[in-house]
C-alpha cells in the first residue's frame, strides 16, 4: 500500500525492505540539499552583478560568539550592502515619528567594517575583470568614505579590518586545478602572486587612510578610528594552528571542511564534508571562506581590540 505521503510513495521500490531506510535516505538528501542551498548563496556573492546577495551582520560579544542576521541587499561590495542597510534600518528615522532602531548613544557601539575580498578576487582584479576605471585606490577610498558617512550620521567608534592573506586559501594557492569558484584550469602561480600583491597593497592603502582619519578627527575626543590587522591575525592562526583549532581531529589549516567533488556541478557540494565534530579543526570552510571556528577566533580577537589589549 502506498504511504500517505506521495513523495515517500514515489521513493519506495520493491527492493527496499523498510520505510525507515527510505526516510534515512531522504534525511541525508535533505541535509545535502540544505548545504547546497547555502553554498549557492555563498557562490552568488562572488558574481559581479547588481543582483541580490546574502550578507550577515555579526554582533561581537565577550565570549567571541558572532550571532548573525542575514538580509538580502540590492547592491554588493563596498558601495552598498551592509553599510546602506545599517544606515537605513539603524541610524535614520525612516518614519519620522519613532526613534531609530539602534537607539543607543554613539559612545556605546563600535562600527566594524570588514569587506574587500570579492573586490580583488576572481571576476575582478585577480582575473582582470574589474571596470577600467577602478583601481585599488578606488576600493580603499570607498571604504574610507563609508566611515566618513557613518561619522556624519553620528557614529563615533570605528574599526576597519584589513583583507586576509588570500594566498593561503585553496582558491588562490599555487594549484591550477578547477574548483567550484572557478571550474576551469587557470594559472595558479599567477593567481597566487596576484592575491598576495593585491591584498597587501590594498591593506597599506587602508592602513594609511585610517591613520589620516585619526589625525583628522584628533580634536574629537569622543571619536576613535582604528585599523585591525586581520592579515596578521590569520597568519598567526595559520602558523600556530594548535592554539586556535580544537575539533576532534588534528588542526588543519591547508584543507577545508566543505567539499565540492565536481567543480562543474554545485549540486554535488556537501558530499564528503567533514563531520560536525571535526569542523572546529579546520581554518577554512571551503576553497575561499573561513570556517566557523576561524570566525569565533576573529570575533574574540576583535573584542580584545575593542578592549585595547590586542596586538593586531
pLDDT digit string, tens, across residues 141-198: 999 999 998 898 888 999 999 999 999 999 999 999 999 999 999 999 999 999 999 9
Q: Tell me if 7 is assigned to some domain.
A: no
Q: What percent of the chain has pLDDT over 70?
A: 67
Q: Tell me if 300 is assigned to some domain.
A: no
**First vs last C-alpha separation in the chain:** 66
pLDDT at 291 over 90: yes
For the entire predicted model, the pTM comes to 0.74
pLDDT-derived band at 83 (thresholds 50, 70, 90) equals low
Q: Tell me if 138 is assigned to some domain.
A: yes
Q: Tell me if 34 is assigned to some domain.
A: no
- Candidate from 89-103, 205-219, 251-265 with smallest mean pLDDT: 89-103
Q: Is the dihedral of CA 119, 123, 125, 126 positive or negative?
A: positive
| Domains: count for the chain | 1
Residue pair 263/179 in contact (Cβ under 8 Å)? The answer is: yes
Q: What is the mean pLDDT of residues 236-253?
A: 97
pLDDT at 34 over 70: no
pLDDT at 64 over 90: no
| DSSP code for 216 | H
pLDDT at 286 over 80: yes
Q: Is the dihedral of CA 213, 215, 217, 222 positive or negative?
A: positive
pLDDT at 30 over 80: no
Q: Tell me if 85 is assigned to some domain.
A: yes
Q: Tell me if 147 is assigned to some domain.
A: yes
pLDDT at 101 over 90: no
Q: Which range in 96-105, 106-115, 232-241 is most confidently predicted, on average pLDDT? A: 232-241
Q: Tell me if 241 is assigned to some domain.
A: no
Rg (CA), the chain: 22
CA distance readout (Å), 236 to 85, 283, 286, 294, 311: 32, 11, 19, 11, 11
Range of the domain at 97: 48-235
What's residue 80's pLDDT? 53
Q: Tell me if 100 is assigned to some domain.
A: yes
Amino acid at each position: 500500500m502506498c504511504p500517505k505521503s506521495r513523495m515517500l510513495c514515489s521513493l519506495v521500490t520493491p527492493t527496499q525492505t523498510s520505510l525507515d531506510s527510505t526516510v534515512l535516505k531522504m534525511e541525508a538528501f535533505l541535509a545535502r540539499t540544505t548545504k547546497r542551498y547555502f553554498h549557492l548563496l555563498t557562490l552568488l556573492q562572488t558574481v559581479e552583478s547588481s543582483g541580490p546577495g546574502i550578507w550577515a551582520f555579526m554582533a561581537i560579544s565577550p565570549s567571541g560568539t558572532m550571532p548573525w542576521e542575514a538580509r538580502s541587499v540590492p547592491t554588493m561590495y563596498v558601495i552598498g550592502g551592509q553599510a546602506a542597510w545599517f544606515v537605513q534600518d539603524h541610524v535614520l528615522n525612516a518614519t519620522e515619528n519613532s526613534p531609530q532602531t539602534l537607539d543607543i548613544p554613539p559612545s556605546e557601539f563600535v562600527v566594524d567594517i570588514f569587506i574587500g575580498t570579492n573586490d580583488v578576487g576572481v571576476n575582478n582584479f585577480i582575473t582582470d575583470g574589474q571596470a577600467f576605471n577602478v583601481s585599488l585606490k578606488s576600493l580603499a577610498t570607498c571604504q574610507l568614505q563609508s566611515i566618513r558617512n557613518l561619522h556624519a550620521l553620528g557614529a563615533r567608534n570605528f574599526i576597519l579590518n584589513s583583507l586576509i592573506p588570500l594566498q593561503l586559501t585553496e582558491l588562490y594557492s599555487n594549484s591550477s586545478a578547477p574548483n567550484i569558484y572557478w571550474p576551469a584550469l587557470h594559472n595558479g602561480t599567477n593567481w597566487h602572486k596576484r592575491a598576495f600583491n593585491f591584498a597587501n597593497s590594498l591593506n597599506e592603502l587602508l592602513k594609511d587612510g585610517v591613520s589620516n582619519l585619526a589625525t583628522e578627527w584628533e580634536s574629537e575626543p569622543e571619536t576613535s578610528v582604528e585599523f585591525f590587522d586581520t592579515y596578521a591575525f590569520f597568519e598567526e592562526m595559520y602558523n600556530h594552528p594548535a592554539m586556535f583549532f580544537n575539533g576532534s581531529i588534528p588542526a588543519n589549516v591547508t584543507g577545508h571542511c566543505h567539499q565540492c567533488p565536481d567543480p562543474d556541478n554545485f549540486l554535488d557540494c556537501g558530499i564528503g564534508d567533514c563531520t560536525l565534530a571535526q569542523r572546529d579543526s579546520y581554518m577554512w570552510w571551503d576553497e575561499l571562506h573561513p570556517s566557523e571556528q576561524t570566525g569565533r577566533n576573529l570575533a574574540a580577537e576583535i573584542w580584545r581590540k575593542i578592549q585595547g589589549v590586542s596586538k593586531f
